[in-house]
Every structure is written in structure tokens, then in C-alpha cells.
Amino acid sequence: MAYEFKLPDLGEGLTEGEIVQWLVKEGDPIHEGQIFVKVETDKAVLEIPSPRKGVVLRMGAAEGETVQVGNVILVIGEEGEKPEALAKPEEAEKRPSVGVVGELEEAPEEKAEEAPAEAAPAPPGKTVEVLAMPAVRKLARELEVDLGTIAGSGPGGRIIKEDVQKAAQKKEEKPPEKAVKAARKYDMYGYVERVPLRGMRKTIARSMVRSKYTAPHVTAMDEADITRLVALREKEKEKAAAKGIHLTYLPFVIKAVVAGLEEHPYVNASLDDENEEIILKKYFNIGVAVDTKDGLMVPVVKNAKEKSILQLADELSGLSEKARSRTIDLADLKGGTFTITNYGAVGGIFGSPIINYPEVAILGLGKIQEKPVVEEGSIEIRKMLPLSLSFDHRVVDGAEAARFMNTVIDHLEDPDLILLEA
């Protein structure tokens, strides 16, 4: 009997994925555990393994198509078997949910009394009995859909999840004439290209808006004289290279940041709005923004305080490579307490970075420049690192931010302090 494999629960609150690449085609043999498709979520590209051995009878979506969790994406059967019609939505609802690691037990559904005919939208001023499961009613509330206006496609007119989702989509759809206008490849000034806002770019946009309109941002700027640090890094990078490690300035900056977070715990925090509590984190997980072709990703170095400079350098290299290839594990993108973004790598000097919410601060690094500096009455050329700290003013005051920056600068200007703590 044919087995219908549904897009599993991908975790981390993800509800959909885009089919990036099929690694099988209809008629191909497939064995248990074989990777058969690559699915892009708004965080990473995941490889989905087959749950069983058999023959590919049908693929449920085309490459580039977005599929909701729970929708059938592959039908597996025995050789010579013909595929049946894909499961109807109501049938899919009755079957147990399948996750990446197996089936998930569900609470038994409540029985709903079936109506003799399909339900129709209620006329104005009249009410009709709505047949829908509790989970469907909850979804309707979340999507702000009036169940009384929906004609259920389930047995006896029961409203199912797909009915609610379709109704929500219709609410968001633009009028046909606007859709035609949006499809044009030119405007009154010339030709244009329209790129769909989806996947990781869509997530970045949503996250940035949430952060900017939730946390009142303030940015403090300063400079660190890292002349001694530059000399130290030049001295040690060949030793690191001999061990196969590319030594950058970031591990030193991470160590300086951790020292600052230890002295100023409110910078290593988050704000629980619902319970009106400031949560001070007693661990130091440092996120580092990585520039990829699809947008910024922020891998997180866990327990940075406990790792040496070379360990940090090696881990950063591995995480950055996985982020750029979109093969990074979702767990490596979670759990950050503070973020560093290095726009100086592409030539920026100062900036006003947006906080990686729900964290309360982010440190931007500018490009290292040689500048004339007065030292004990004489002018010297020193290596200066521009620093920009954006912070959530609900949790961190300006004076505390300045003190944090001073601690970071002290460690960057005196590498011996970093080495002592490493």
C-alpha cells in the first residue's frame, strides 16, 4: 500500500518550507534514511530523509513551491504499484502527525455532529451552527477569520484547517487589477525586476521590524586603540595556521565582550514583557553575524567564556562556512545572549546596528584604520577600531552602556587582559 510522507514538523516554530531540490524522481527506488529532497525554511536548508524503503510513486510539490507542514510531499510504494490520489485534507487531519524523528501522538478528536448537507456562509443578520474542531477554531482566532463566513469542505460541512487557511489567504489577496499592475516588468521610469520576499529574506525583514518597533534603540560610538592587539595577532596567526586555524580579530573581540558582560550583566539580558521581568543570563552565548548570499545569518558560539582564542577561531570558521552553505543546524542559530556584527570587513566605519531581539544589545565593528593619536604630548600613528553599541534603553541606560564599552575597550587595548582570561 502506498505511503504518503507529509512535510514533518521542522521545529523552532516553522510552519512551511520551500522545495529547493528534488534528489529523486518518479519511478526511482528509495531506501530508508536516503535524503530525497532539500527544503528551505526561513533559517536554513534542510535535507529530509525517507522514512522507509520502496519506489517513488509521486512527488507532491514542484521545486520552488512552498509547502505547509502536514502536506504530502512524497508518495512511496512497492514496485509496480500505482499511486492513489493524495490524501484529502480531512483525511490528513485524522492521521497522526509525523515529525523528523517519528510519529507524534495526538489527543483524540472530539466528535462533531454531522449536518445533512454542506454548510454555506451565513447570510447577514443570521447565524448558523459552525462545525469545526477546537484546533480549527483556535487557528481561525489566530488568523482573524470568521468561521461563520466559511463553507466547510469536510464531511457534513465540517470546517477544516485548509478552509480557514484559504479564507485567510483571500483576505490578504490584492484586487485583480493591482495584481496585474504588480506583475509589470517596468514602471514609468524604466524596467524593473521584482524579487519575491520569502525564505530567509522575509524572516530577516520580519525580525528587524519587530526589533526596531519593540525595543527603543540607542547607539553609543567609541574607538579602541588596538595597536598592541594587531601586533599580537600578527605574531600568533602563523602558529594558528600551522594548526589549520584561521585567526581573525573576532575571537579577541568575543573575549573582550564576555569580560564586559560579566561586569555589566544587564547588557547580557532579555526583557520578559508579559511578566515584566528582566532576565539576566548567567551564560555567555555570542552570536556573530555572517554575510551570506541570502542575507545575514547569526550563528551562536555557545559558552564563549570557557573557550580559548584558538577554539573560538576554529568554531567561528566552521559555523560561518555552514551558514554560507545553508547547511547549519537550527540549534546553532539559537540561544544567543549578545551579538557582534563586523561590517568593517566590507569597509564600514560606524553604524547603528539593529538589536538581535530579544537580546538587549549588539556591538558593531568598523574597519581598522591608521589614525594620528596624541600620546603623552606627541602625535603617533595608531591602529584604531571603531565600535558602535546599539542597546535597548528599556533595560540598559546610557551610563551603563558607556561603562560596558569602557571594559571592552580596556581589554582590546591591553591584550594581556584577554590572554589572562583565555
The whole-number pLDDT of residue 44 equals 76
Whether the per-residue pLDDT at 306 is higher than 90: the answer is yes
Q: Among 194, 209, 241, identify where a domain stops.
A: 194
pLDDT in tens, 312-325: 999 999 999 999 98
Residue 382 C-alpha cell reads as 595608531
Name the one residue in this structure whose C-alpha cell is 484547517: 161
pLDDT of residue 99: 41
Q: Are strands 29-30 and 102-104 parallel, antiparallel or unpaired?
A: unpaired
Q: Cβ(327)–Cβ(240) under 8 Å?
A: no
Q: 170 versus 124: which is more confidently predicted?
A: 170
Same domain, 228 and 179: no
Which residue among the candidates 31, 217, 264, 393 is catalytic per the annotation? 393
With a cut of 80, say whether residue 86 has pLDDT above it.
Answer: no
Do 83 and 116 sit in the same domain of this protein? no
Q: How far is CA 121 from CA 171, 268, 295, in A?
A: 15, 52, 44
Least confident piece of the model among 279-288, 339-348, 412-421 = 412-421
The residue count of the chain comes to 422
> Residue 341: in which H helix or E strand, if any?
strand 338-341
The pLDDT score that the predictor gives to residue 108 is 43
Q: In terms of domains, do 248 and 392 share one?
A: yes
Residues 402 and 268 in one domain: yes
Contact between residue 262 and residue 407 where contact means Cβ atoms under 8 Å apart: no
Residue 226, domain extent: 201-421
For residue range 203-252, list pLDDT tens digits in order.
788 888 889 888 999 999 999 999 999 999 999 999 999 999 999 999 99
> How far is it, in rounded angstroms, from Cα 333 to Cα 47?
17
- What was the pLDDT predicted at 112? 40
203 CB-near residues (< 8 Å, 6+ apart): 42, 43
Question: Which CATH number covers residue 14?
Answer: 2.40.50.100
Find residue 385's DSSP bridge partners: 224
Amino acid at 253: V
Please tell me the predicted confidence (pLDDT) of residue 109. Answer: 42
Amino acid at 39: V
As for how many domains the chain has, the answer is: 3
Q: Does one domain contain both 228 and 128?
A: no
Catalytic residue status for 393: yes
What is the per-residue pLDDT for 127? 46
- Range 277-287 average pLDDT: 97
Do residues 65 and 187 both lie within one domain?
no
User: Please, what is the angle between helix 398-413 and helix 227-242, to 10°?
Assistant: 60
Chosen domain end from 142, 171, 194: 194
pTM of the model: 0.64
Provide the pLDDT for residue 175. Answer: 52
Co-location of 206 and 184 in the same domain: no
Do 278 and 208 lie in one domain? The reply is yes
pLDDT score, position 84: 56
**pLDDT tens sequence across 380-396:** 999 999 999 999 999 99
**Which candidate, 389, 390, 350, places its Cα nearest to that of 367?**
350
Cα separation, 358 vs 271, in Å, equals 7
Percent of the chain with pLDDT over 70: 82
pLDDT of 174 > 70? The answer is no
Of the residues 141, 165, 194, which one is the last residue of a structural domain?
194
Q: Are strands 286-288 and 338-341 parallel, antiparallel or unpaired?
A: parallel
**Whether residue 166 sits in one domain with residue 283:** no
Region 172-193: what's the mean pLDDT? Answer: 65
pLDDT surpasses 50 at 92: no
Q: Does residue 363 contact residue 222 with C-beta atoms inside 8 Å?
A: no
How many degrees, rounded to 5, is the angle at CA 110 between CA 109 and CA 112?
120
Q: Which helix (H) or strand (E) holds 263?
A: helix 250-263
Q: Are residues 297 and 391 in the same domain?
A: yes
Q: Strand pairing partners for 375?
A: 378
Angle at 362 between CA 346 and CA 401, to 5 degrees: 125
Overall average pLDDT of the 151-157 stretch? 77
Cα distance between residue 293 and residue 200, in whole Å: 10
- Cα 293 to chain centroid distance, Å, stands at 15
Give pLDDT, residue 82.
64
Q: How confident is the model at residue 172 (pLDDT cuts 50, 70, 90)?
A: low
More confident residue, 82 or 176: 82
pLDDT tens-place string over residues 26-72: 889 999 889 999 888 766 788 888 888 889 988 888 888 888 888 89
Q: Bridge-partner residues for 377, per DSSP?
A: none
Q: Is 197 helix (H, G, I), strand (E, B) or coil?
A: coil
pLDDT at 372: 95
Q: Output the domain CATH number for residue 144.
A: 4.10.320.10
Determine the Cα–Cα distance for residues 382 and 365; give it in Å rounded to an integer: 17
> Can you tell me the distance from the alpha carbon of 403 to that of 264, in angstroms, rounded to the nearest whole number?
8
CB 43, CB 330: distance < 8 Å: yes
Specify whether 182 is located in the same domain as 246.
Answer: no
> What percentage of the chain exceeds 90 in pLDDT?
44
Name the residue among 291, 303, 290 with its Cα closest to residue 335. 303
Model pLDDT, residue 103: 38
Instruction: Quote the pLDDT of residue 185.
Output: 82
Give the pLDDT confidence of 95-141 residue by residue, as tens digits: 444 444 333 343 444 444 444 344 444 444 444 567 777 777 778 87
- Domain match, 67 and 113 both: no
Q: What is the mean pLDDT of residues 10-19?
A: 72
CATH classification at residue 410: 3.30.559.10
